[in-house]
Structure 1
């Protein structure tokens, strides 16, 4: 049995590392990576570390402390050698190593390998939302290395702790999260002090003495000064990195938000489970572990940016405590053999990892598995449009877009970018507090003649829309572009058609209905068609044109545009604009059954909805796919057994396929839920008649005519009733 364990541990290590690696292989979707790459390139080209802002016009030469400078240089070099795909794989490798360390730390501490691997497999998806291509990836690996070295540190191996010194020197130049190393070392020193003061506090091994650890902690603190910014960096970490506000002016940084109950339920579960395990295993609890748990929980509660590293460090704590609890169980309790554990656990771990992987990259998630760039997240087409025009003067841009613009248009400086500089935060507050009337002189000071805005930047979009000198020249799913009257020479300006009536930044598109029968209806339609020509790959342009065509009565053309919108961005179509309901019902009304089925199948990928299933079943039924329609109706009824429309339609399907008894059963169930339902009464009478139940069929036809004398099926019902009453009953 023991001979098999190294092989088994190797297999489980491979499973854990591969799982974490694959969950970190995500297409680039975060804006910050672009200004990080630009910073790395700048440092490499200039052979110096900037202390002031070299990239923007609004905060030019403002103080800046790129504490991640070494990460940015490394990223830029890797990009030049291996491209963006190489960067993604490097990030995945760093994250996989971090979680592999957490797994092996549990094995080192005697945790059952199946328990350890299960805990890590459950933990990785909780941290996945922070697997971004940014310098903080080094926080995972370095905090895991620190925690490993401190957790296994003993008086006999105290000199191995000196490896923390070069790690800290590296960490302090890679990312500002190096303070976590000091926190972990401080927790370890506190446990050592407790062991010295209270000899009864004993564990499996003796810890190094405070006389050794105290100077080590001081050395670690001193090494944090080995950065280009000295004490200023430590001040910045305390005031900005840990205690930074979530929203300042027009800048909202979601990762700085505190953790609230109900959000990130998986991490709440982990934190509560770990806290409970400390209570249940209190006799074997290490004070170091308890302090680490309290510190990481505090950081995670303070800001969601720390949830991932808290998950990484708390999982070994939970594993250690659970193993301590299992070890305390009475000997008479049955303990399966190691072979039996392997036979049961390995298939479950494999199946579980496949399920978790599928859930991790579900359609509604923002991240996508794979290499390359998630193009739909970035305003590539808008930047290309603006570059082609090359307007005079400077341009204003939404703060979050700045880094991408720096990368895509290196010849031009941006107004500001995604770096959270103090000067940019103050400017954001100023812009937010400034009225639209006063914004003009402020922007004129920077010679702003164009603007590229995200669709969420409604404050500035409202300003440019109402500014007399600016007009909307372009929009798609990612950006709006406004141009000033003096931005282009006359010959170029004549080639640009501006939008006067469309409000693409508005989440409410119903305003277009007011234009449907107005004098400007043709002008609005021309603008919408021009928008489609400008941005043919945009969901928004096709959707707005489709909606306008629908409200003007051209439903067939509208459906064509809805299909084009769906193909351009299915996620936006079905999650944010509910195109499944709108276009699905429209296709059914137009009796385009195959198109309706195709659209509704796509909608179901993003949103499991009984209504979508019902509409899909109806489209399949009307399109002649009775077998699949029957299965789909049955799935609807499995979810909602009393859904009348599905009961009625399934009853008619059984009628059409000659299963009269089943048709009768379905219609009776429908009438139990809705006793006067017109379609159910008609269907039941017809099922009885075709099933040979003459007397009851006559009664049901009479009941139908009594309850629904004005029914559209009244003539058919009378004809069926006449057939029955005219026929002679069978004689023996």
Structure 2
């Protein structure tokens, strides 16, 4: 991720003190503008709600509020009911459910807008130590652009401020030549209960610990003792969840699934057209190659590893956008002659302006509250045309519809919890959606499928029109519904 060094101040005619005040003010203005932009993007862009997983996260939160416990088995689907499920995002889901109950979808976008704005603010406030306003603005644009692919109202966004704060605190500890403070491990208790991305805490800490060990190799014991104590405290912290050791294993379990390429966000990024991600890579290479940037070895390895992850799975570009700039800012800044970091001015004025901007935009959003209608993950009208008695019977659904079905009290065949369903079942679902007639007949016999709700583009949807004993009962641009003839309620005679 590019962290472009500071441009020369335009206020050449001012005295040094005046020029410094102007520079600090401009940098604060860039941070403020970026935070408000991030908040506005989440608040007013319909795409952030276009993910079916949001629905089942809300349903899970409501279930936990209703039962006052965290589920350890699946309470939602009919194919895996009662089977083990690690609800590793339970705290995020409870927060989402509470906000939804209080303020509906408008509250949801405000919640996630604040989380992402805070993450951007924490990031840019640290980068401003080594950058001027122009460089900071360019980096903000590139970072926010790279975050775009993951901007959906799901728990991972609530963990982003913790990721930035954690990384910054570790870098501060290394700059001071000491191990991170033990209180920082307590942050992992919150992070581990919000989202499985807490594993990135170890990914960030490991190269810095190795760096400290190499630096103190002549007398390694103090480093081993201090960093080892911190690592032990972190391990205890991440085990303090309702899922215990299962929460620790879960992130690695999903990373080893063989069917991840069936989910869009786990596909590699598309380089056929220019994107902010491509621009970030190219600009970073340009700056580093032209200025002879020298990054510490282990830090460079970390940045390249996260880049590798982003090239494999586009969902990780969001992580790259927030972590890589923190590691590259200082070496790039030093390559342009900076010798010491500069602090931003007092944050009070910027905080007040941000609060005013948030209140104004929230008021505008509240005038026309967010409403969810038919969309690629929300077959609202189609489901409304399915008789209640039929909704209670087993259904075969498109993967992305599963969350909405759960939200509406319908038990799905499959939904976004791919880790729970596993590779074999997910592979079977892919074969079904591709129109494997034999696999479909087996599923009907095994589960007693009475109806289907599919996206029109699915090959299976076209197959159903010619399937004996089945009838299309509704279709629109978003969804098509078929039902077994013998499952339909008889039409009363007039």
Please tell me the TM-score bracket, short chain as reference: 0.7 to 0.9
Contact 1:245 1:256 (C-alpha < 8 Å) held by counterparts? no
Instruction: State the match for 1:270 in structure 2.
Output: 280
Instruction: Measure how far apart 1:326 and its partner are.
Output: 2.0
CA distance in 2, matches of 1:301, 1:458: 30
Instruction: Measure how far apart 1:73 and its partner are.
Output: 0.8
Instruction: Measure how far apart 1:376 and its partner are.
Output: 3.4
Instruction: State the match for 1:148 in structure 2.
Output: 168
Instruction: State the match for 1:572 in structure 2.
Output: none
Instruction: State the match for 2:236 in structure 1.
Output: 222
CA distance in 1, matches of 2:439, 2:180: 62
The alignment partner of 2:111 has SS state of: helix
Distance change (3 Å), C-alpha of 1:156 and 1:450:
closer
Instruction: Measure how far apart 1:295 and its partner are.
Output: 2.8
Instruction: Measure how far apart 1:440 and its partner are.
Output: 2.7
Instruction: State the match for 1:239 in structure 2.
Output: 253
Instruction: Measure how far apart 1:452 and its partner are.
Output: 1.2
Distance change (3 Å), C-alpha of 1:48 and 1:317:
same
Contact 2:265 2:315 (C-alpha < 8 Å) held by counterparts? yes
Alignment partner of 1:471 is 2:437 = no
CA distance in 1, matches of 2:421, 2:293: 52
Instruction: Measure how far apart 1:168 and its partner are.
Output: 0.8
Instruction: Measure how far apart 1:390 and its partner are.
Output: 4.4
The alignment partner of 1:481 has SS state of: strand
Instruction: Measure how far apart 1:218 and its partner are.
Output: 2.9
Instruction: Measure how far apart 1:56 and its partner are.
Output: 1.1
Gaps of 5+ in 2: 1-17, 340-367
CA distance in 2, matches of 1:419, 1:239: 13
Instruction: Measure how far apart 1:300 and its partner are.
Output: 1.0
Contact 1:396 1:451 (C-alpha < 8 Å) held by counterparts? yes
Distance change (3 Å), C-alpha of 1:491 and 1:387:
closer
The alignment partner of 2:483 has SS state of: strand
- Once the two structures are superposed, what CA deviation does each residue of 1:208-257 show, in whole Å capped at 9, x if it has no partner? 944322321232133222223333333332231x3333457xxx201112
2:105 to 68, 76, 84: 84
Alignment partner of 1:124 is 2:144 = yes
The alignment partner of 1:161 has SS state of: coil
Instruction: State the match for 2:459 in structure 1.
Output: 458
1:94 to 115, 120, 127: 115
CA distance in 2, matches of 1:283, 1:441: 60
Alignment partner of 1:66 is 2:87 = yes
Instruction: State the match for 1:37 in structure 2.
Output: 58
Aligned CA-pair RMSD: 3.0
Q: RCO higher in 1 or 2 (8 Å CA, sep ≥ 6)? A: 2
Instruction: Measure how far apart 1:388 and its partner are.
Output: 6.0
CA distance in 2, matches of 1:444, 1:295: 47
Alignment: residue pair count: 439
Instruction: State the match for 2:486 in structure 1.
Output: 486
Instruction: State the match for 1:714 in structure 2.
Output: none
Instruction: Measure how far apart 1:427 and its partner are.
Output: 2.4
Contact 2:106 2:369 (C-alpha < 8 Å) held by counterparts? no
Distance change (3 Å), C-alpha of 1:221 and 1:287:
farther
CA distance in 1, matches of 2:161, 2:394: 42
CA distance in 2, matches of 1:259, 1:383: 33
- Once the two structures are superposed, what CA deviation does each residue of 1:164-203 show, in whole Å capped at 9, x if it has no partner? 211111111111111101111112112212222389xxxx
The alignment partner of 2:69 has SS state of: coil
The residue correspondences of 1:681-700 to structure 2 (distance < 5 A) are: none
Distance change (3 Å), C-alpha of 1:433 and 1:160:
closer
Contact 1:271 1:314 (C-alpha < 8 Å) held by counterparts? no
Instruction: Measure how far apart 1:277 and its partner are.
Output: 4.3
With normalisation by structure 2, the TM-score equals 0.80
Instruction: Measure how far apart 1:438 and its partner are.
Output: 5.4
Instruction: Measure how far apart 1:479 and its partner are.
Output: 0.7
Instruction: State the match for 2:12 in structure 1.
Output: none
Contact 1:274 1:318 (C-alpha < 8 Å) held by counterparts? no
Contact 1:29 1:373 (C-alpha < 8 Å) held by counterparts? no
CA distance in 2, matches of 1:163, 1:97: 21
CA distance in 1, matches of 2:475, 2:169: 53
Instruction: State the match for 1:352 in structure 2.
Output: none
- Once the two structures are superposed, what CA deviation does each residue of 1:116-145 show, in whole Å capped at 9, x if it has no partner? 233112321221121100011034212111
The residue correspondences of 1:227-626 to structure 2 (distance < 5 A) are: 227-240=241-254, 242-246=255-259, 252-259=262-269, 261-262=271-272, 265-275=275-285, 277-278=287-288, 285-287=295-297, 289-327=299-337, 371-373=370-372, 375-377=374-376, 378-387=378-387, 390=390, 393-408=393-408, 410=409, 412-423=410-421, 425-431=423-429, 435-437=436-438, 439-459=440-460, 461-491=461-491
Distance change (3 Å), C-alpha of 1:157 and 1:20:
farther
Distance change (3 Å), C-alpha of 1:6 and 1:211:
same
Alignment partner of 1:20 is 2:33 = no
CA distance in 2, matches of 1:196, 1:261: 43
CA distance in 2, matches of 1:30, 1:423: 19
Instruction: State the match for 1:107 in structure 2.
Output: 128
Instruction: Measure how far apart 1:98 and its partner are.
Output: 0.9
Instruction: Measure how far apart 1:328 and its partner are.
Output: 7.6
Instruction: State the match for 2:347 in structure 1.
Output: none
Gaps of 5+ in 1: 200-207, 330-368, 496-732
Distance change (3 Å), C-alpha of 1:405 and 1:328:
closer
Distance change (3 Å), C-alpha of 1:393 and 1:160:
closer
Instruction: Measure how far apart 1:10 and its partner are.
Output: 3.0
Instruction: Measure how far apart 1:114 and its partner are.
Output: 3.0
Alignment partner of 1:138 is 2:164 = no
Instruction: Measure how far apart 1:463 and its partner are.
Output: 4.6
Instruction: Measure how far apart 1:472 and its partner are.
Output: 0.9
CA distance in 1, matches of 2:211, 2:388: 64
Instruction: Measure how far apart 1:281 and its partner are.
Output: 5.3
CA distance in 1, matches of 2:392, 2:232: 55
